[in-house]
Structures are given as structure tokens and as C-alpha cells.
Chain A
Amino acid sequence: MNVLIVSAILGVVMLFSGVLLKQTRIVRAIAIIGMAVLLVINILEISGTSFFNIHTYGMMHFDRFALLFNSIVLFSTLVYFILSAKDMEKVGIHYGEYFALIFFIVCGIVLVASFKSLLILFLGVEIISIPLYILTGSDKKNLKSNEASLKYFLMGAFSTGLMLMGIALIYGATGTFNASEMTFPAARPSILPVAGMLLLLFSMAFKVSAAPFHFWTPDVYDGAPTVFTSFMATIVKAAVFIGFIRLFDEAFGSFNAEWQTWIAVITVITLFIGNITAVFQQSVKRMLAYSSIAQAGFMLLAVYAMNTDAKEGILLYTAAYCLATIGIFAVLAKMSDYTFEGFNGMARQQPMIALLTTIFFLSLAGIPLTAGFLAKFYMLKAALGAGGSLWVVIFAVLMAAVSVWYYFRVIQAMYFKDGQATVQVSPFFKWTLAVLAAVVILLGIFPNLLLYWYYF
């Protein structure tokens, strides 16, 4: 609750500072300090200091899972602000408003991570989506950005409609919005809640861009300004996953036989389409869009398994995926050429940036000693532990092997090809990126540094 209220206030503060302050440097500083404050008060809430005691009639529940997830999100957003906030200046003149919208999105993320009532879930998903439509189209002079925004808006509105219809059917079947109070008759529920559950499943799969609901993703991620793609593809996607997991754990956990097969099918299709299509991309930005679909396939394994390992795993996965991808996008936003050739010879021009980018790509591919490896390991362990199908796990491993191919193409371009890749970066940016890479490696060696907080 701390983060929800303070983040909403900070959003308004950013609005005013965008109007009143002429220097973008100060606006940026306020945003970074604000995000740091959010992180601190969230950690305070984990240790039991809540500033606001609001009776929500059981509609929200700030348990350890939600709070720890909030911490990961806030830390990632803080890193994202430090690395990429300067690049937002290039997008347009509404500098303060961009930050304000991101603070509002953080409110939505808190809601989605801690909902109990489907009403809150709906509000949270909408609060996440509407600012994103705007951020996608914020590069107003760019036709691709306009197209992406319109596409995202239409498809997003449609999937929101599906979600509302699903919630309505479930309300009709159970008479309550509260996810943990829903009682479904017997082991095999009637067709009304199942139809509602399927509609919710499809709309959530749309929001996390799982195949076959992924068609908007490449265009939107490619068309949006790179700084905002970085935010959308990482933090927002992970947040919707938390909502996905909470929804299917608490509301529909009692009849998982009905949906587990569906999730398995969606997982396999997502892994296949995401990884195979990423291989054929020419632009690194578009490749990362498809890679985010592929990573969503891995995260879907947590929904499929739905046990303690899965919950630990999704937290670790969120941290590993968000931090690594934010790092890559931060470098990408500084480059002029987004194709693979644009990375040619970067190791000679900028050895340190090339090394750090390599670490991030290794983490995404799931090479041992990086956080990405353990995150994938937890997912596969969870899927096996749930008594799930062995074939899904084998397929996921195969697809992870395919992913190595396109991630290593960038590394190959940086180290083994001659070219003039130019990145203009400040020493501060370099060292922040180095700290980020250190965190990625540290989490790969000691995942308990993070997961300890889930229990202690």
C-alpha cells in the first residue's frame, strides 16, 4: 500500500515538475530519487512498517510474494531510470509527463501484483495498459510509432473486453469478485466458470504476448521508442505474469485439470514461434521483441507448474530477465544502427560495453554462472516437480538451445567482425552498467540473496 499511494503522488509531482522546471536534469533527478524512495518504503513494508492502514475489504493482499516482486520491479525501474532516462529527452518535449506515466504504471503493477478481487486486477491491467499506449505513440512524428500505438490500443482494448466478459461470467457463476472466496462446484465445474476462465486465460495470454496472441508484439516493440520498449518488454511483462500466476493460483487452482493442458499448449507454441522467428530477424530490436516472446514462453512454465518452485522461479526469472534486457536496451538506445551489422567491431571501439553486453546476452541465453541460467533451471525444475509432462520440459530445453543461436549472433558481431560500431557513453553509464552486470552474475551464483527474502 505504501508504494501504491506514494507512487500515485509522485506521478502528480512529476507532472508539475515537468511544467515548472525548465532543466531536464532536475526533472530526471527527481524521478530517480522518487523511484529510490519507493524502493526504500517498499522494503520498509516488507519489514513491517506500513504507513497507510486502509481497509480494502479484502480486495488487496500485500503478502511477501507481492512485496518481494514489487521490490524487484522498483529496483529494475530505478536501474532503468539511471541508465535510460537521458534517452527519453530524444523522444519528445513532454519529459516530465513520460516519468509521470511510468509512475502511474508502477501503481498498476502494484495492483496487479497484490490483487484479491478481480475488480482490482482489471483496474491494475488497465492502469498499466493505458499509459503504455501513450508511451508507444509518444514519438509523434514517427509513422511507425503512430502505427504501433494504434495497433496496440485496438488490440489491447479488444483483449480488455475479453477480460471483462470473462470476469462477468465468473461473477455470474460464483457471485463474488474475490479470487480466494470463489467456490466451484465439485472437481469438474460447470461450463459457465470454465468459459469465463478461458476468456481470462486468453486475455492474460494476450497481455503477456504468448503465442498465438503475440502478433501485436513485434510491431509494437519495434515501433515504440527504444527507451519505452525497454520498459514494456521487461517490467510490464513480468508484472502481468505475476497477475496471471496469482489469478490462476487463487481463483482457478481448484480445477487445474481444466486449464493445465491449455497452458502447456500455449507454452509450447510460444516457445516455438518466439525462438524460431527470432532466428530470422535482421534488426536487433526486433530480435529482442521475439526474444521477449520466447522468454514469456519460459515464464509460462511457472503458470503451468504452479507450485512453490514456480513462485520462487518467477521471482528469479523476473529479476534475471528484466535486469539483463534493460542493460541491452540501454546500450541499444545509444546506438544509431539497430541491425546486427551495427554491432560489428564494437569490442575494439568500446571493449567494456561489449563485454557487459555479452554478459547480458549470456544471461538471456541461460549460460551457467549468470542469473538467466538459474532462472531457467528453476522453471524447468518446477515443471518437473508438478508432475508435468516431460515433453514440455525437453522441448523448452531444446528451444533454449535455439535461443543461443540468435543471442550469440550479436556477440559474434561485436567480437569477430570488423566495423565501426559507435556508442557514445559517459563513464557513469559504463559503471552503472558494470554494477548491473555484477548483479546479474551475483544472482547467478547466489540466488538465495533474492529468494531468502521470500521466507525469512
Chain B
Amino acid sequence: MGITQILFWLLSVMALFSALMVVTNKNPVYSVLWLILAFFAISGHFLMLNAQFLFIVNIIVYAGAIMVLFLFVIMLINLNKEMEPRKNIWIKFAGAVAGGCLLLVLVAALRNSELKGQVAQVKEGNIGLIKNLGMELFSTYVVPFEISSILFISAMVGAVVIGKKE
């Protein structure tokens, strides 16, 4: 077992464990902290695939900016035990069954998929380097890239419409 494999298993266990802790933890602040750990683990996976740009963006945007936003929201709405809505046991049961079905389908899909024999390009893949990514983004994918500006401007307009005092 080489160092790459050890790192892979370590990061995978870390990602899965912290993701589980996110959903099982009662305290939302702890959930968010575990989520940060999950993002770091996934960023580590990106790094192992030689996708350095995705690695750094994932840390800056997700683990940094979005998580701070999450923490702010949680602190602003001031969650505590009394405000937590009581859920029906049957709804919990139905949710568990539905989620379990999805898990079953996805696991079945990935277990029998044709990707099973293929190995990820560790270390030698260079599509994730910032130069190649930029070339691809501004040549083949330039139309969707420009179109996404419409998405962002409508989101900004929306933020003003919703947030501005009347």
C-alpha cells in the first residue's frame, strides 16, 4: 500500500465520518464545524487528482465563505431546544425509508457500473491545472460561462428586491 492509497483511505474515512456527524449531531453549530471538516477532506481528494485549482477554490469558497455564512445564519436565528419542531415518528420513518431507497439505488448503480475497473488518474492527470481549466472555460465553455452572468445578475437584482427597505 503506497502513500497515495493510505491518503485516499484516510481522506475517504474522514469525509464519510464527518458527513455522518453533520446529519446526526443535535447542535447545528457542531454540524457546521463537521461540515467544514468534510469539505477539507473532499478538497484533499481534489488535490490527489491533481486538480489544484478546484482544491483551493473549494477551501476558499465552501470551507471559508459559505461556512461563515452558515454560522452567521445559525447564530442569527438562535436555535434552541424549545423552538425545535416536534416531528411525527411516522414521518421520520418514511424519511428513513425514502432515503434508504435512494441510497440502495445509488449504491447498486455504482457497484455494477462500468467505471468499476477504471482507476482515477492520480498525480499525472493535468486537466485540473488552472491553465488547462482556463483554456477550456474560455474556449469550449465560453457560451455557458457568459450566460451564467444572467443568472448572477438576476440573483443580485433579487437580493436587492427582497432586502431593500420599502
- A and B pair up: yes
A-side residues, CB < 8 A to B, are: 4, 8, 11-12, 15, 54, 56-57, 59-60, 92-94, 97-98, 100-101, 104-105, 107-108, 111, 117, 119-120, 123, 126-127, 130-131, 133-134, 137-138, 140-141, 169, 172-173, 185, 190-192, 194-195, 198
Q: In the complex, which residues of chain B have a beta carbon less than 8 angstroms from the beta carbon of A138?
A: 161-162
Asked whether B166 lies within 8 Å of A59 as measured between CB atoms, the reply is no
Q: In the complex, which residues of chain A have a beta carbon less than 8 angstroms from the beta carbon of B158?
A: 101, 130-131, 133-134
A232–B105 Cα gap in the complex (Å)? 33
> Closest Cβ of chain A: how far from B145's Cβ, in Å?
10
Partner of B157, one of A15, A123, A127: A15
Interface size on B, residues (CB 8 A): 27
Tell me the nearest residue of chain B to A93, going by C-beta.
B166
Q: In the complex, which residues of chain B have a beta carbon less than 8 angstroms from the beta carbon of A105?
A: 154
Q: Flag whether B113 is at the interface (Cβ < 8 A).
A: yes
Q: In the complex, which residues of chain A have a beta carbon less than 8 angstroms from the beta carbon of B155?
A: 130
Q: In the complex, which residues of chain B have a beta carbon less than 8 angstroms from the beta carbon of A134?
A: 154, 157-158, 161-162
Q: Flag whether B89 is at the interface (Cβ < 8 A).
A: no
Asked whether B114 lies within 8 Å of A12 as measured between CB atoms, the reply is no
Q: Max chain A CB contacts within 10 Å: which of B112, B144, B153, B162?
A: B144
Q: In the complex, which residues of chain B have a beta carbon less than 8 angstroms from the beta carbon of A60?
A: 143
| Given A119-B141, A195-B105, A130 and B113 contact (CB-CB distance below 8 Å) | no
| Given A57-B140, A97-B161, A195-B106, A92 and B154 contact (CB-CB distance below 8 Å) | no
A238–B82 Cα gap in the complex (Å)? 44
Q: In the complex, which residues of chain B have a beta carbon less than 8 angstroms from the beta carbon of A130?
A: 151, 154-155, 158
Q: In the complex, which residues of chain A have a beta carbon less than 8 angstroms from the beta carbon of B147?
A: 4, 107, 111, 120, 123, 127
A172–B144 Cα gap in the complex (Å)? 20
| Given A130-B158, A131-B158, A137-B162, A57 and B143 contact (CB-CB distance below 8 Å) | yes
Q: Flag whether B150 is at the interface (Cβ < 8 A).
A: yes
Tell me the nearest residue of chain B to A1, going by C-beta.
B143
Asked whether B166 lies within 8 Å of A127 as measured between CB atoms, the reply is no
Asked whether B151 lies within 8 Å of A126 as measured between CB atoms, the reply is yes
Asked whether A123 lies within 8 Å of B113 as measured between CB atoms, the reply is no
Q: In the complex, which residues of chain A have a beta carbon less than 8 angstroms from the beta carbon of B154?
A: 11, 100-101, 104-105, 127, 130-131, 134
Q: Flag whether B76 is at the interface (Cβ < 8 A).
A: no
> Closest Cβ of chain B: how far from A421's Cβ, in Å?
31
A148–B141 Cα gap in the complex (Å)? 35
Q: In the complex, which residues of chain B have a beta carbon less than 8 angstroms from the beta carbon of A192?
A: 109-110, 112-115
Asked whether A59 lies within 8 Å of B115 as measured between CB atoms, the reply is no
Q: In the complex, which residues of chain A have a beta carbon less than 8 angstroms from the beta carbon of B160?
A: 94, 97
Tell me the nearest residue of chain B to A104, going by C-beta.
B154
Asked whether A173 lies within 8 Å of B161 as measured between CB atoms, the reply is no
Q: In the complex, which residues of chain A have a beta carbon less than 8 angstroms from the beta carbon of B166?
A: 92-93, 140-141
Tell me the nearest residue of chain B to A133, going by C-beta.
B158
Asked whether B109 lies within 8 Å of A104 as measured between CB atoms, the reply is no
A12–B150 Cα gap in the complex (Å)? 10
In terms of DSSP, what is the predominant structure of the interface of chain A?
helix
A195–B115 Cα gap in the complex (Å)? 14
> Closest Cβ of chain B: how far from A325's Cβ, in Å?
24
Q: Flag whether B164 is at the interface (Cβ < 8 A).
A: yes
A131–B158 Cα gap in the complex (Å)? 7
Q: Max chain A CB contacts within 10 Å: which of B108, B157, B158?
A: B157
Tell me the nearest residue of chain A to B147, going by C-beta.
A123
A139–B98 Cα gap in the complex (Å)? 35
Q: In the complex, which residues of chain B have a beta carbon less than 8 angstroms from the beta carbon of A185?
A: 114
Asked whether B108 lies within 8 Å of A191 as measured between CB atoms, the reply is yes
Q: Flag whether B148 is at the interface (Cβ < 8 A).
A: yes
Q: In the complex, which residues of chain B have a beta carbon less than 8 angstroms from the beta carbon of A92?
A: 161, 166
| Given A93-B166, A190-B112, A11 and B153 contact (CB-CB distance below 8 Å) | yes
Chain A to chain B contacts (Cβ below 8 Å), 6 pairs: A11-B154, A93-B166, A101-B158, A133-B158, A173-B113, A191-B109
A335–B144 Cα gap in the complex (Å)? 43
Q: Max chain A CB contacts within 10 Å: which of B115, B141, B154, B161?
A: B154
Q: Max chain A CB contacts within 10 Å: which of B161, B162, B164?
A: B161
Tell me the nearest residue of chain B to A105, going by C-beta.
B154
Q: In the complex, which residues of chain A have a beta carbon less than 8 angstroms from the beta carbon of B108?
A: 191, 195
Tell me the nearest residue of chain A to B111, going by C-beta.
A191
Asked whether A120 lies within 8 Å of B161 as measured between CB atoms, the reply is no
> Closest Cβ of chain B: how far from A81's Cβ, in Å?
18
Q: In the complex, which residues of chain B have a beta carbon less than 8 angstroms from the beta carbon of A140?
A: 162, 166
Asked whether B153 lies within 8 Å of A12 as measured between CB atoms, the reply is yes
Tell me the nearest residue of chain A to B139, going by C-beta.
A57
Partner of B144, one of A12, A97, A123, A191: A123
A22–B162 Cα gap in the complex (Å)? 20
A431–B108 Cα gap in the complex (Å)? 60
A263–B96 Cα gap in the complex (Å)? 25
A11–B153 Cα gap in the complex (Å)? 10
Besides A11-B150, A101-B157, A108-B150, 6 more A-B contacts (Cβ < 8 Å) are: A4-B147, A98-B161, A105-B154, A120-B143, A123-B148, A195-B106
Asked whether A119 lies within 8 Å of B157 as measured between CB atoms, the reply is no
Complex interface residues of chain B between 113 and 133 (CB less than 8 A to chain A): 113-115
Asked whether B114 lies within 8 Å of A120 as measured between CB atoms, the reply is no
Q: In the complex, which residues of chain B have a beta carbon less than 8 angstroms from the beta carbon of A120?
A: 143-144, 147
Tell me the nearest residue of chain A to B151, going by C-beta.
A127
Tell me the nearest residue of chain A to B109, going by C-beta.
A195
Q: In the complex, which residues of chain B have a beta carbon less than 8 angstroms from the beta carbon of A12?
A: 153
Tell me the nearest residue of chain B to A59, going by C-beta.
B143
> Closest Cβ of chain B: how far from A22's Cβ, in Å?
16
Q: In the complex, which residues of chain B have a beta carbon less than 8 angstroms from the beta carbon of A173?
A: 113-114
A119–B154 Cα gap in the complex (Å)? 18
Asked whether A190 lies within 8 Å of B151 as measured between CB atoms, the reply is no
Tell me the nearest residue of chain A to B158, going by C-beta.
A134
